[in-house]
Chain A
């Protein structure tokens, strides 16, 4: 059973996803969804132990060996990302159990859960994918599931956002497909390991193919991961989606494409690729612009969730910055930030969702003084926001630290300044929410902490994500070491 462990989590989720359309009652649906996730998580934990002890495990679907068969790899990167997925998806699922009935109409609820599980399993699949075919299938599933999740709520804004998302996503997928085609053309391989080996021979012969593939990958994955200038779909989609979906989208979905990019570009295409194409420089430039533009735009937002969405774009910029900076420490910092930001953004969206559920308000101007209605929730929001700004003691600080140290080691003080200034910009739009929430005018009484009259299913997920991120801010050794190992494996 041990090697089958690699695919079991996905299988469990798949089975649950297929059963769910048959379940009509929303409560039962949510129960099944959460239990499926929990079971998959336990299996994934077991897998993780195995991988940590033994190293990467490779699984051949149906017993067919590559390059014919489909290979599924459970290496540290996959395990790392999988853990991230579960840590965010499970609390969000609990949250969704209470929140979704308020946001979406009844008939849509069961499809919600199906889509949810499909999305999660596709994320896992993408992380684990060992060949391009597998990867492309899960790519499509994830994009479609994500779009559909946006559209679950039947409002005009959602429909429009979902449509934009779908359109751009399809273009992105198309580009990825083209890239796969170009690579297949010259190597005849779809399996990543074999592809890598073949490419070593073929790349010098067909540089244009490689360059073309790289460009298309950048564009395709870039759309999905919301790099400037391909990010325009994100604010609408993440802002209008129901809160649990926003948490997943901002926290996980955009990140998985980074994982894919790391696997393909850094893992497979290799050093030769970087010499052919100024991939890293382009990425650096786009990331920097992303960071600044998104931060500035975030400051101008009046809607809470839209502000959080722009913040996501900026944070993705950090990750790309760290990957392309050319330092192993920064690379590790970027990988770590995938984990950290997922937790933080998840906490932020869930807290925001709880506040919206309780007060019905999502405009920032209306949220002044909300600290007196929901002090606990706002505190969780505050903790996560401090993490985003990078206050020492939070997990955000740890990843920022490694990014900084790495960039300074490379003697790129300019990049270090980019990170620092953008942290300040982060403060500029997160702090007012908190300050005005707790200390806003018109509130002369003392702040009393109470349970906010928000049901625990909404409160606990946000709280647990915030506190877990705090925990990993003070004791980051586990994710840190994992990220450093991944950097060791993949860094170029």
Chain B
């Protein structure tokens, strides 16, 4: 209970403090940093109490309550978010030197941390929905932070898409509440057999997939994501590669395993409704990534494609697939944030934002490009980076489900990933300059988090015990 206060409320309070009392800038940084450390420690502390249990419950009506639960999946999300937020604050310190309005940036950033933890620890659909909508609102000021016309447009698109998605989710939740009279998360699903006809279930699944699919950037609801790249890079890194999009995927995971449940999905053959949009997203996302010259946009499309891996894994309805989904949830967050941090390093260190400008930049920024190389390996799915294990389990899940064709999809997508990441590396390390190159790496506050995260991608290949343990626990072990 106390930990809940730390994880959810402390960030909110800090944000209010920053907004209303306008402390000087240095104090703002210290406050933000302290809060993120506190939250990270709190999340790690939760790890030490491995029992799924109810943390807090307040009932409005017999059906609707505000409930927080600590279970494996939520813990995974909370850990990822809390720890990565810490790195982002440090990174922001270096990056935001060139931007203005630090105080509101930090306030909304920290607020979003608390809300993300709320999503992670939500114990039922209504609580999840509450924080889900709140996340859209709290991240909106971050998207439009630069206040350029393009940023404002991106913000409006962001709002519009996300509110529509939330509306669809609300409709689905209301349907459930009205018929099932329960909206809690219980592994295996909460739908009693025989209550819904297949047509009704199809409607429900479509609503959930479309509703959560907006945040999870399922094609064709993904348009907000590339446009949102106009935000400052730490925002893109954290929110649009880790927190917001992961919240969408998290919603899908919760719905598929804890609300609808494997049996219901199996019995009514509903998994294809989830699976095919994921396949389309994987392939099209990778293909569209090729065409992007702007580096952050290329990463955005890569994110779109990779998120669908997680949905695909969950849709196999097997233990291997579920493990793959959770494992990639963890791995992709690390990999993508590394890549985005590298993009930010390139922008600040060499002023380069487009792929076509990156010729030879590897000699001016070897550490950054080294981290980029490691993370690219992970995205392609090659050992010794952690992304390999996600692909392994994904393939295993596909085969366990008896659908080898989807394994082919994953492999083709891996090849496509190679196709748009490797040329960046090739270009960066080509054409060695004749004189010893000047090192133009960004300041340490930006470089060190990048390197640490890249290293962690390698480390978690050799010791993926944490996400694996959590995923096996989520299926009813421990």
Contact = CB atoms under 8 A, between A and B. Distances in A.
Contacts of A416: 171, 174
Interface string A420-445: 11011001000100010001010111
A423 B167 contact: yes
A289 interface: no
A424 B167 contact: yes
B287 interface: no
B97 to A, nearest CB: 16
B422 interface: no
Given A409-B179, A449-B20, A444 B60 contact: no
B22 interface: yes
Nearest to A405: B178
B101 interface: yes
Nearest to B177: A405
Interface stretch (B133-141, B247-255, B297-305, B318-326): B133-141
B96 interface: no
B22 A424 contact: no
Contact of A420 (B126, B134, B167, B203): B167
Interface residues of A, number: 35
B105 to A, nearest CB: 10
A448 interface: yes
Which of B61, B174, B203 neighbours the largest number of chain A CB atoms within 10 Å of its CB? Answer: B174
Contact of A449 (B19, B130, B164): B19
A477 B60 contact: yes
A406 interface: yes
B179 A392 contact: no
Contacts of B100: 444, 446
B129 interface: yes
Nearest to A406: B178
B170 A404 contact: yes
A401 interface: yes
A427 B166 CA distance: 12
B283 to A, nearest CB: 31
A476 interface: yes
Contacts of A386: 137
A393 B163 contact: no
A446 B22 CA distance: 9
Nearest to B140: A435
A391 interface: yes
A8 interface: no
Contacts of A431: 159
A448 B187 CA distance: 46
B147 A439 contact: yes
A206 interface: no
A78 B314 CA distance: 53
B171 A417 contact: yes
A404 B174 contact: yes
Interface in B106-163: 126, 129-130, 133-134, 137, 141, 144, 147, 152, 155, 159, 163
A448 B101 CA distance: 11
B289 to A, nearest CB: 31
Contact of B178 (A398, A408, A420, A441): A408
B328 interface: no
B141 A439 contact: yes
B431 interface: no
B280 interface: no
Interface string B169-184: 0110011011100000
A420 B210 CA distance: 15
B141 A391 contact: no
Contacts of A159: none
A325 interface: no
B129 A392 contact: yes
Interface in B182-201: none
Contacts of B134: 391-393
A476 B20 CA distance: 27
B199 to A, nearest CB: 12
A447 interface: yes
B171 A404 contact: yes
B104 interface: yes
Contacts of B129: 392
A331 B315 CA distance: 39
Contact of B60 (A413, A423, A445, A480): A480
Contact of B104 (A392, A404, A435, A447): A447
A8 to B, nearest CB: 34
A391 B133 contact: yes
A405 B170 CA distance: 10
Contacts of A446: 22, 100-101, 103-104
B64 interface: yes
A424 B166 CA distance: 10
Contacts of B21: 449
Given A431-B159, A441-B147, A476-B60, A401 B174 contact: yes
Contacts of B101: 444-446
B180 to A, nearest CB: 11
Contacts of B179: 408-409
Contacts of B164: 424
Interface in A387-410: 391-393, 398, 401, 404-406, 408-409
A97 B141 CA distance: 37
Given A427-B163, A439-B141, A444 B147 contact: yes
A290 to B, nearest CB: 20
Given A392-B133, A420-B167, A480 B61 contact: yes
A404 B133 CA distance: 17
A66 to B, nearest CB: 37
Contact of B64 (A391, A401, A406, A423): A401
A405 B104 contact: no
Contacts of A475: 60
Given A405-B178, A416-B171, A439 B144 contact: yes
Contact of B174 (A391, A408, A448): A408
A124 B103 CA distance: 48
B444 to A, nearest CB: 27
Nearest to B151: A439
Interface in A261-318: none
B22 A420 contact: no
Contacts of A445: 101
A477 B103 CA distance: 37
Interface in B18-36: 19-22
Nearest to A391: B133
Given A447-B104, A476-B60, A408 B22 contact: no
A475 B58 CA distance: 9
B104 A393 contact: no
Contacts of A392: 126, 129-130, 133-134
Contacts of B171: 404, 408, 413, 416-417, 420
A479 B21 CA distance: 34
Contacts of B177: 401, 405
Contacts of A409: 178-179
A423 B164 CA distance: 10
Given A408-B174, A431-B159, A449 B22 contact: yes
A378 B357 CA distance: 45
Interface string A445-473: 11111000000000000000000000000
17 contacts: A386-B137, A392-B130, A392-B134, A393-B130, A401-B64, A405-B177, A405-B178, A406-B178, A408-B171, A408-B179, A409-B178, A416-B171, A427-B159, A431-B159, A441-B147, A443-B147, A447-B19
Interface of A: 329, 386, 391-393, 398, 401, 404-406, 408-409, 413, 416-417, 420-421, 423-424, 427, 431, 435, 439, 441, 443-449, 475-477, 480
Interface of B: 19-22, 60-61, 64, 100-101, 103-104, 126, 129-130, 133-134, 137, 141, 144, 147, 152, 155, 159, 163-164, 167, 170-171, 174-175, 177-179, 203
Given A424-B167, A446-B101, 17 more contacts: A329-B178, A392-B134, A393-B130, A393-B134, A405-B174, A405-B177, A408-B175, A413-B171, A413-B203, A421-B167, A423-B167, A427-B163, A439-B152, A441-B152, A444-B100, A447-B19, A477-B60
